[in-house]
Each structure stands twice: as structure tokens, then as C-alpha cells.
Amino acid sequence: MAQDPLFILIILACLGVLFVLMLGLGGFAKGSGWAQKNSNKLMQYRIGAQFIAVVLIVIYVFFRQSGG
């Protein structure tokens, strides 16, 4: 499983979601003008990254169930 390229891609996608989420939370915690300017855009990036991660997970499960 660890050598499966799709599984590795899923792990990277999840780490990307985590990175964007932590960046957004850090901006909120900082509370400066930076958070006001970028918070909406960061949350849009997070939603997009989560969508990609979920799609990859669904594809992985589909291929694992079909024996591929």
C-alpha cells in the first residue's frame, strides 16, 4: 500500500489540505490585516484542496474494490 502511487498522491493531497488549513488558522490567530485580506481566499483554496483529496480517495477505494 505504501508503494502505491495513488496512495502517495492521496497522502500529499491531505498534507496540502492540512497546510492550507494551518495557514488560515495561523492568520486568524495573528489577527492582523493579513488575515482580513487573505482569509476568504485561503478558505477557497482549502475547499478546492479538500475536493481534490476526496475525489482521489474515492478513486482509490473504487480501484481497490474492483481488484485493480
What is the tens place of the pLDDT at every residue in 42-63? Answer: 889 999 999 999 999 999 999 9
The pLDDT, as a whole number, for residue 11 is 95
E-assigned strand segments in 1-68: none
CA-CA distance, 43 to 24, in Å (whole number)?
Answer: 7
| CA 16/CA 47 separation, integer angstroms | 11
Rounded CA gap, 19 and 1, in Å? 24
Taking only the tens place, the pLDDT of each residue in 24-45 is 888 777 777 776 788 888 889 9
